[in-house]
Structure 1
Amino acid sequence: MEMSICLVATPSLDWHHPIVGKFVARYVGEDMSELEKAVALYHSVRDEIRYDPYRLDLSQEGMKASTTLKNRYGWCVPKAVLLAACCRACNIPARLGFGDVKNHMSTERLRRQMQTDVFYWHGYTEIFLEGRWVKATPAFNRSLCEKLGLEPLDFDGVHDSIFHSFDKAGNRFMEYLHQRGSFDDLPLAEIMTTFKYHYQGLLETINGDFEVEAANEAREDLKV
Structure 2
Amino acid sequence: MKPTYLEENSNFDYTSEGIKNLIEKIDDGNSDATPLDFTLKAYYYIRDTWPYNPYRISFIEKDWKASEIYKRTSGHCLDKAILLITVLRAKNIPARLGLSKVKNHIAVEDILEKFGNDVLVPHGYVELFLNNKWVKATPAFNKTLCKKLQVTPLDFDGINDSLFQSYDNSGTRDFMEYLEDYGTFDHVPLPYMLALMKETYPALRENKFELGMVLNLAKL
Does the TM-score normalized on the shorter chain lie above 0.5?
A: yes
Give secondary structure in 2 for the equivalent of 1:71.
coil
Measure, in 2, the Cα distance between the counterparts of 1:205 and 1:114.
12
Structure 1 residues 105 and 85, CA gap change in structure 2 (3 angstroms)? farther
Corresponding residue for 2:103? 102
Structure 1 residues 66 and 173, CA gap change in structure 2 (3 angstroms)? same
- Cα offset for 1:201? 4.4
- Cα offset for 1:69? 1.0
After alignment, is 168-177 or 22-31 more displaced? Answer: 22-31
1:167-182 equivalence runs, <5 A? 167-170=168-171, 171-182=173-184
Contact kept, 8 Å, 1:3 with 1:93, in 2: the verdict is no
Q: Are 1:152 and 2:153 matched, yes or no?
A: yes
Equivalent residue for 2:218, pick from 195, 198, 207: 207
1:21-100 equivalence runs, <5 A? 21-28=20-27, 29-100=30-101
Structure 1 residues 144 and 116, CA gap change in structure 2 (3 angstroms)? same
Figure out how many residues of one structure are paired with residues of the other and give that number.
Answer: 207
Measure, in 2, the Cα distance between the counterparts of 1:3 and 1:11.
15
Measure, in 2, the Cα distance between the counterparts of 1:148 and 1:47.
15
Describe the superposition over 1:132-179 as per-residue Cα deviations: whole angstroms up to 9, x where unpaired: 111010011111111110111011111110111111011111111111
Structure 1 residues 2 and 35, CA gap change in structure 2 (3 angstroms)? farther
Measure, in 1, the Cα distance between the counterparts of 2:101 and 2:54.
16
Corresponding residue for 1:188? 190
Q: State the one-letter code of the partner of 1:185.
A: H
- Cα offset for 1:200? 4.8
Corresponding residue for 1:15? 14
Describe the superposition over 1:99-158 as per-residue Cα deviations: whole angstroms up to 9, x where unpaired: 111112443122211111111221100111011111010011111111110111011111
Q: In percent, how many aligned pairs have the same letter?
A: 40
Give secondary structure in 2 for the equivalent of 1:120.
strand
Q: RMSD of aligned C-alpha atoms?
A: 1.7
Measure, in 2, the Cα distance between the counterparts of 1:25 and 1:179.
33
After alignment, is 87-96 or 101-110 more displaced? Answer: 101-110
Contact kept, 8 Å, 1:103 with 1:173, in 2: the verdict is yes
Structure 1 residues 10 and 117, CA gap change in structure 2 (3 angstroms)? same
Measure, in 2, the Cα distance between the counterparts of 1:139 and 1:39.
14
Q: Are 1:127 and 2:89 matched, yes or no?
A: no
Give secondary structure in 2 for the equivalent of 1:158.
coil
Question: Unaligned stretches of 5+ in structure 1?
Answer: 209-224
User: Which ranges of 4 or more aligned residues in structure 1 deviate by more than 3 Å?
Assistant: 200-203
Q: State the one-letter code of the partner of 1:163.
A: F
Normalised by the length of structure 2, the TM-score is 0.88
